[in-house]
């Protein structure tokens, strides 16, 4: 990739143009070097660096980007929108020539990286801050990111596949992953009114519906198993008295039924104020742990080791992006978090600290299957086995499943088996949602070969649901449909209805008879 045409550096509040000498740009004691795509930054303090390339945009071009963490039903090809933030990578499709090109950064960078694209070119924004303030590099040279150019690979879909492969080429080769399929009780229990008996019923249900398949399904105990209420935080050393008195015993019983036990937790939140909590914005001050403290990593390591000792074979860690930044992806925008606060260790960028946190979890988990939820996909790539790529589906509102689940699968499916196993979230089977539409989502997930989790309310089971559930679970446990699946109308729809599976067309109608519910 050719060198940028201009570089801008922000140390305090303003971006300042840097002066160029060869492949180096400098301003106010900061130096930026372009080294064959690697962006190296040396500075005392640093907040942001912007690299600009001048290149006219094709008329009528369609542009696609990714998301900071999960997507929220908002991924789509759009016409030119200069202020639109495109995290991690972007593609530009020229409808007049059919060519698709773009650029991105390698996974596991040391900065939060995003692009903007306008009529005259594109800009890479490297957020090098620590929390809401500058990072104190103190003269350290940091390789902030490595930029990759994407060439046309035949179609937009093939180009996105090639782009993801390019951005993850330095990751160790992923072993052929076993299909990840199982039960998860969240979308019918929602963390309330369930106990060990209900968990064991879920395990028995998924084993029954797997119908003797040689690949064992998982059965995940989601949020609500510990004292304190939903999403209230640790310590994660015990279950709710009288409900989950012996988590090791629960895991053993799930195994005895024939499933693999899994457990949810929120690693960076505790129920009581802590001296290792971060000072930044949060709804419950003093409780969101700061992962730049070594003591916090020690605590998280001990949690993972405890879950392994209890016998859990899968752990889902959740909410860490929110607990670091005080916001979910859509609210992060270009600022990421509120200004005026920093993490305990100001010498590292937030990206470096989050990356170290993910690496610690990966190391402590050892052979446990890790699911990242509300984790930053471009940083977690290679460090989680499974990634929740979209916001929650729903066992209460079909429209949420359509908006979130279908959208994230359609636009992030190329990340599957390169960054991690993609998880578009659970397929509900509940009395509150229409089974005929859930069954279509089940068929799509099963054909894709991505992770399939199901929230099956015992009250919703019928002969009809069981037939579809057995078929979908068996297909998913067998690795999905031959040849995978591809959205055909993704250039013009956020929730594609036209797909191609194994070379054959498949149509999914996602709407009720009156169409989609309007957003209020």
pLDDT value of position 94? 98
Rounded distance, CA 166 to CA 17, Å?
A: 30
3-state SS track over 139-152? CCEEEEEEEEEECC
Rounded distance, CA 102 to CA 149, Å?
A: 6
Peptide bond into 493 cis (omega under 30): no
Decide: helix, strand or coil at residue 60: coil
Class of the domain covering 193-487: alpha beta
Q: Can you name the residues that pair with 52 across neighbouring β-strands?
A: 6, 123
Q: What is the pLDDT along the chain (520 residues), one digit of tens a residue?
A: 799 999 999 998 899 999 999 999 999 899 999 999 999 999 999 999 999 999 999 999 999 999 999 999 999 999 999 999 999 999 999 999 999 999 999 999 999 999 999 999 999 999 999 999 999 999 999 999 999 999 999 999 999 999 999 999 999 887 777 899 999 999 999 999 899 999 999 999 999 999 999 999 999 999 999 999 999 999 999 999 999 999 999 999 999 999 999 999 999 999 998 999 976 667 667 799 999 999 999 999 999 999 999 999 999 999 999 999 999 999 999 999 999 999 999 999 999 999 999 999 999 999 999 999 999 999 999 999 999 999 999 999 999 999 999 999 999 999 999 999 999 999 999 999 999 999 999 999 999 999 999 999 999 999 999 999 999 999 999 999 998 999 999 999 999 999 999 999 999 999 988 888 886 4
The alpha-helical segments, DSSP class H, found in 449-516 are: 463-477
Residues 6+ apart with CB under 8 A from 398: 433, 434, 437, 438, 512
Strands 24-27 and 30-35, by their bridges, are antiparallel
Rounded distance, CA 80 to CA 101, Å?
A: 15
pLDDT value of position 519? 62
pLDDT value of position 262? 98
CB 48 within 8 A of CB 334: no
Q: Which residue has the tokens 């782009």?
A: 163
pLDDT value of position 12? 83
Give Cα separations from 261 to 161, 302, 474 (angstroms): 33, 19, 19
CA-nearest of 355, 404, 407, 408 to 383 is 355
Tokens found for residue 219:
């059965």
pLDDT value of position 520? 46
CB neighbour burial string for 312-343, b if at least 16 within 10 angstroms, e if fewer? bbbbbbbbbbbbbbbbbbeebeeebbeeeebb
Strands 181-184 and 218-221, by their bridges, are parallel
Domain ranges of the chain: 6-167, 193-487
């Amino acid at each position: 990739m050719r060198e940028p045409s201009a570089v801008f550096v922000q140390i305090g509040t303003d971006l300042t143009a840097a002066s160029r000498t060869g492949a180096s740009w400098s301003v106010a004691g900061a130096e930026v070097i372009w080294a064959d795509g690697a962006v190296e930054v040396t500075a005392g303090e640093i907040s942001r660096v912007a690299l600009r390339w001048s290149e006219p945009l094709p008329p009528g071009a369609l542009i696609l980007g990714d998301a900071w963490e999960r997507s929220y039903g908002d991924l789509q090809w759009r016409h030119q929108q200069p202020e639109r933030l495109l995290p991690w990578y972007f593609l530009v499709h020229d409808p007049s020539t059919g060519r698709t090109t773009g650029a991105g950064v390698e996974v596991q960078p040391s900065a939060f990286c995003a692009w903007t694209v306008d009529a005259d070119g594109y800009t890479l924004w490297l957020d090098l801050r620590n929390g809401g303030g500058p990072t104190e590099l103190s003269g350290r040279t940091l390789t902030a990111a490595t930029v990759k150019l994407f060439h046309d690979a035949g179609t937009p879909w093939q180009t996105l596949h090639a782009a993801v492969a390019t951005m993850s080429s330095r990751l160790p080769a992923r072993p052929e992953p076993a299909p990840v399929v199982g039960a998860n009780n969240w979308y019918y229990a929602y963390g309330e009114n369930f106990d060990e008996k209900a968990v064991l019923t879920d395990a028995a249900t998924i084993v029954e519906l797997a119908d003797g398949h040689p690949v064992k399904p998982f059965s995940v105990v989601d949020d609500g198993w510990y004292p304190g209420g939903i999403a209230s935080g640790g310590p994660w050393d015990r279950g709710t008295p009288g409900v989950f008195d012996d988590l090791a015993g629960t895991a053993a019983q799930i195994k005895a039924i024939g499933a693999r036990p899994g457990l949810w937790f929120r690693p960076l939140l505790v129920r009581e104020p802590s001296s290792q909590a971060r000072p930044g914005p949060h709804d419950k001050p003093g409780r969101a742990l700061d992962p730049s403290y070594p003591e916090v990593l020690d605590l998280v390591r001990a949690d993972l080791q405890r879950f392994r000792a209890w016998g859990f074979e899968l752990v889902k860690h959740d909410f860490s992006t929110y607990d670091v930044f005080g916001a979910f992806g859509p609210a992060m925008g270009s600022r990421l978090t509120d200004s005026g606060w920093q993490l305990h260790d100001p010498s590292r960028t937030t990206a470096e600290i989050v990356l170290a946190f993910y690496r610690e979890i990966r190391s402590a988990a050892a052979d446990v299957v890790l699911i990242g939820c509300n984790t930053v996909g471009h940083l977690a790539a290679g460090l989680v086995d499974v990634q929740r790529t979209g916001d929650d589906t729903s066992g209460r509102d079909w429209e949420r499943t359509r908006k979130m689940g279908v959208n994230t699968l359609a636009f992030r499916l190329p990340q599957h088996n390169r960054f991690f196993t993609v998880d578009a979230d659970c397929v509900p089977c509940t009395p509150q949602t229409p089974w005929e539409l859930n069954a279509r989502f089940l068929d799509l997930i099963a054909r894709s070969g991505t992770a399939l989790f199901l929230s099956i309310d015992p009250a919703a089971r019928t002969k009809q649901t069981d037939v579809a559930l057995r078929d979908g679970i068996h297909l998913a446990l067998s690795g999905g449909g031959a040849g995978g699946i591809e959205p055909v109308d993704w250039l013009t729809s956020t929730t594609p209805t036209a797909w191609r599976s194994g070379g054959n067309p498949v149509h999914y109608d996602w709407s009720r008879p009156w169409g989609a519910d309007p957003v209020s």
